[in-house]
Amino acid sequence: MEWETVSLEWNDSIATVTVDRPEALNALNVETLEALAEAIAAAEAGDARVLVLAGAGDDAFIAGADIKYMKDLSTPEAQAWGELGHDVADALEQFPGATVAAVDGYAFGGGCEMAMACDFRIASESALIGNTEIDLGIIPGWGGTQRLPRLVGEETAKRMIFLGERLDAETAAAEGLFGEVVSDDEVDNRIEEFAAELASKPAVALKAAKQAIEQRHGTGGLDYEKRAFAGLFGTHDQREGMKAFVEDRTPEFE
Ligand code: CAA
């Protein structure tokens, strides 16, 4: 299958799915999210033991949801947009093999959320990560309110989300958000090595272990987040926050 902004490459049983929208630092629009969903499904259909999620280039993993697309959405449109992002994050979380986010560069908002839906996050030294949505007048809308506290604990998650903090790689690792930080030159090799090690394990047992661990989480919080995210569209602060990003100025919130 061919997609304009996403690629799927195979190395034995390891599938690498790469988002490639350099003009927007790999931010996710509808077309890219739909392509991602199809690429993840194709990796599953091809019995991938490991899925690596990456962003093309050295600047960004994924700079978030596409703000230029989102800025004028109504609440019902934002509901559908939120569902689409949640579906992709859920597909990563429920992927039968192991998943690794290769975080090289910016991972903000929806990019941070896709990384958190993976089993592992291996980052380059220069990576930056955060759920930065507050500065756009919204909240994380693709699972961040639920997955971030699981990884870093509630107080740190609240601090990061309320303040829209952008953590450097070393700090993110200390907070539990990155499993490993590797030098920019070595990160690709390390991910390849780690993926190969995961792929060498018995796939049926690995899947059972993953599903057992996932049983700890309910879906009530994710459903609440979808409604709260969509409900913020059309507020003064959402319109102003996103307009200010596009106009490259500081927003004036109410
Ligand atoms: N959506 C749309 N376009 C984006 C984007 C995004 N999330 N992030 C970057 N871009 C675009 C910029 O608008 C710019 O395009 P133009 O050249 O056409 O102006 C291009 O990518 C390069 O970006 P910058 O010039 O800003 O590059 P920089 O190096 O100065 O800054 C950055 C990089 C710090 C990542 C900055 O672009 C930035 O802060 N981006 C927004 C990050 C963000 O807030 N993400 C969260 C989005 S909300 C979300 O994801 C909601 C959700 O939960 C679903």
3-state secondary structure 95-138: CCCEEEEEECCEEECHHHHHHHHCCEEEEECCCEEECCHHHHCC
Residue 163: pLDDT band by 50, 70, 90 thresholds? Answer: very high
Token pair for residue 43?
């990796």
Catalytic residue among 133, 154, 170, 193: 133
pTM of the model: 0.98
For ligand 1, atom 36, which residue shows the shortest CA distance?
Answer: 63
Please write down the long-range contacts of 2-7, taking CB distance under 8 Å and 24 or more positions apart: 3/35, 3/38, 3/39, 4/31, 4/35, 5/31, 5/32, 5/35, 6/32, 6/35, 6/36, 6/38, 6/39, 7/39
Catalytic residue among 113, 186, 192, 247: 113
- pLDDT category of residue 207 using cuts at 50, 70 and 90: very high
109 CB less than 6 Å from ligand 1? yes
CATH homologous superfamily of 6-185: 2-enoyl-CoA Hydratase; Chain A, domain 1 (3.90.226.10)
Q: Assess whether pLDDT exceeds 80 at residue 1.
A: no
Q: Residue 226's Cα: distance from chain center in Å?
A: 16
pLDDT of residue 218: 84
CA angle 253, 246, 74 (to 5 degrees): 70
